[in-house]
A and B are shown apart, each in its own frame.
Chain A
Amino acid sequence: MDKIRNLQAGAREWVWYVIAFVILMIVPFSGSIFWTNLLTEILIMGLAAMSVNLLLGFGGSLPFGHAAFFASGAYATALLIKETNLPFVAVLIIAPVMAAVVGAILGIIITRLYEFYYAIVSAASCMVLWTLIRKVPIFGGDTGITGVEIPEILSSIDAMYIFTIIIVFIVLIFTKILLNSPFGWIQQAIRENPNRVTCTGSNVLRHRYIAFIISSFICGIAGMLFVLHTQSTFPSYAHWVKSGDFVMICILGGVNTFIGPMIGAAALIILQTYITSLTEHWLLFLGISICLLVIFMPSGIMGLAGHLPSKIQSLYRKIRS
């Protein structure tokens, strides 16, 4: 019985992903360049936030330095395309691997820490990278790297959008499988109670380290996609404020859900776009609306969405009685 119920619940979730995929694929045919562009950005930022949520919501850590891996992926892509003659497919593989390498180096220290220390050291190491990017000439200083040429086939907005959807969905499926695997379960158990995990014979330190590298690899993919989308990269990608954006997107969307970061990215970017067009004091209003969202939806948009059916049911019962 249980097995059947689990299967059904699992299948229903996959059906939602297929529906989302199909709807997203249709967007370019509506002819709206504005929405196609906006959705590309949402998908990329959502992917970066999801890599953060792998450690935040599913690992119980507070990674405040993922801009470092976003920027590593971005700069690696830009430099590989501009400075080498590598085939494009090789760039697609090497760029995220570079981000993972940076993650493997920084993770040695960061993953030994917990809570505030974890957050502060990850933010600090991100700022070290930011300084390096601005000072080392090959990274182009404060002006960054612009005019990154991408293959003909991706040069249209629609093509880039479709390419982004495909890559993002591949990574989403990979992440989903990962979270259901023993690795993913131990990762979540570490969030609940790291000491108990140690006492049942799993190496917590090694586990957190590997998870950190996987997460930085995925964040590197997001950085890479962003460069292909905008064809330029700037030092601000490595600034800790960018890391803060990722964390905020996760909290806004709901850290305890798989798809939360995607929803959070959509909410934040759409909010940003609309408020900017209304007033020049947009940051003020953006801040206030985010405060309100967090106060009234402490478990994020997806958290509220999860409770909604039961709330409607209880309201319905009240009305009937």
Chain B
Amino acid sequence: MGDTFFEIIGLEKSFRGLKATNNVSLSIKKGEVCSIIGPNGAGKTTLFNLITGLIKPDAGKIYFMGKDITGHSPVDIVHAGIARSFQIVNNFPRFTVYDNIMIAALGYKKLAMKMFTPAKGIAKNEIMELIDRIGLAKEAHSLAGELSHGDQKRLEVGIALASHPSLLLLDEPTAGMSSDEKGGILETIKRVMKESDCTVFLCEHDMKVIFSVSDTIWVLHNGAVVTSGTVDEIRNNSLVKEIYLGEAE
């Protein structure tokens, strides 16, 4: 315990008797892309919410870089080095792209209480560089709420990256995208991984996406881990096919 980069042990969470997370244990190695798959309602987003502290687990432990972060506040968890993007677009719609990233940068630098310097001057180059990296340089001064869906998903990743995470949680980054857009955001994710030395924990529906980027895959069904393995192992796993295609065979 504590030697691994990120580890969950026996995590449990129930909502009114429904076990959304049922004795989940998994671990992630530094520098890999770890994916979690499972049908709708398998408990993927609940797991992400537990990790980022938005909801508190009923039982179990979460370790990150040797520290127990179980039950810590979302703010502490961001500063510990875990940031996330959301499945449903979750930005500041009446702010520009630049301002969205700026808010996250201010949070990371713990400057929220600074009262007498103009915010616009802070970390300007750093913010523009990040906007460039997520491919929104042309849209830097457009309102976030007026971007296309694909660009809003990019911004979503950008806001998470502004927290300089060691572990980046991406909750369905390609949901609702066209296949062209998917290719684009995948390139972005791969590039970001290389450049910023962060480990990615990905939750995704699209199998093509999963198989093209993942090192390890965990399969979640009815709140419990069913199996895990490399891309090839999961691709040929009969149980996984059964979960996804039904038991009609």
Q: By the criterion CB–CB under 8 Å, are A181 and B107 in contact?
A: no
Query: Contact between B119 and A201 (Cβ–Cβ < 8 Å)?
Result: no
Q: A210 contacts which chain B residues (CB < 8 A)?
A: 113
B94 and A200: CB pair below 8 A?
no
Tally A residues with Cβ within 8 Å of B. Answer: 27
Is B115 in contact with A178, judged by CB distance below 8 angstroms?
yes
Q: Is A266 an interface residue (CB 8 A)?
A: no
Minimal beta-carbon separation of B128 from chain A (angstroms): 10
A227–B94 Cα distance when bound, in Å, is 40
User: CB of B196 within 8 A of chain A?
Assistant: no
Compute how far the CA of A197 lies from the CA of B108 in the bound complex, rounded to whole angstroms: 11
Cα-based distance from A210 to B79 in the complex (angstroms): 21
Q: Offer 28 A-B interface pairs, CB within 8 angstroms, sorted by A.
A: A177-B115, A180-B118, A181-B114, A181-B116, A181-B117, A181-B118, A182-B106, A182-B119, A183-B114, A184-B115, A184-B119, A185-B106, A186-B103, A186-B107, A192-B94, A193-B92, A195-B54, A196-B90, A198-B74, A199-B52, A199-B54, A199-B78, A199-B83, A200-B108, A200-B163, A203-B75, A203-B112, A206-B113
- Whether B112 and A196, one on each chain, are in contact in the complex, defined by CB atoms closer than 8 angstroms, is no
Contacts of A146 in B (CB 8 A): none
B107, A201: Cβ atoms closer than 8 Å:
yes
Among B74, B103, B116, B141: residue with most chain A CB under 10 A: B103
Judge if A134 is at the interface, Cβ distance under 8 Å.
no
A8 interface contact, C-beta 8 A: no
Interface residues of B in 79-111 (CB under 8 A from A): 79, 83-84, 86, 90-95, 99, 102-104, 106-108, 110-111
A189 at the interface (CB under 8 A from B): yes
Any chain B CB within 8 A of the CB of A83?
no
A-side residues, CB < 8 A to B, are: 2, 6, 177-178, 180-186, 188-189, 192-193, 195-203, 206-207, 210
Tell me if B115 and A181 are in contact (CB < 8 A): yes
Interface size for B (C-beta < 8 A) is 38
A-B contacts besides A199-B78, A199-B84, A202-B107, 10 pairs, CB < 8 Å: A178-B116, A181-B119, A182-B111, A185-B106, A192-B95, A195-B90, A196-B86, A197-B103, A200-B108, A201-B107
Q: A198-B75, A199-B78 are in contact. Are A185 and B163 (CB under 8 A)?
A: no
The 3 A-B pairs at the shortest CB distance, nearest first, are namely A201-B78, A201-B107, A200-B107
Distance A207 CA – B114 CA, assembled complex (angstroms): 11
Given contacts A200-B159, A210-B113, contact A185 B99 (CB under 8 A): yes
B162 within 8 A of A: yes
A189 pairs with B75, CB closer than 8 A: no
Whole-angstrom distance from the CB of B84 to the nearest CB of chain A? Answer: 7
From A182, A192, A195, give the contact of B114 (CB < 8 A): A182
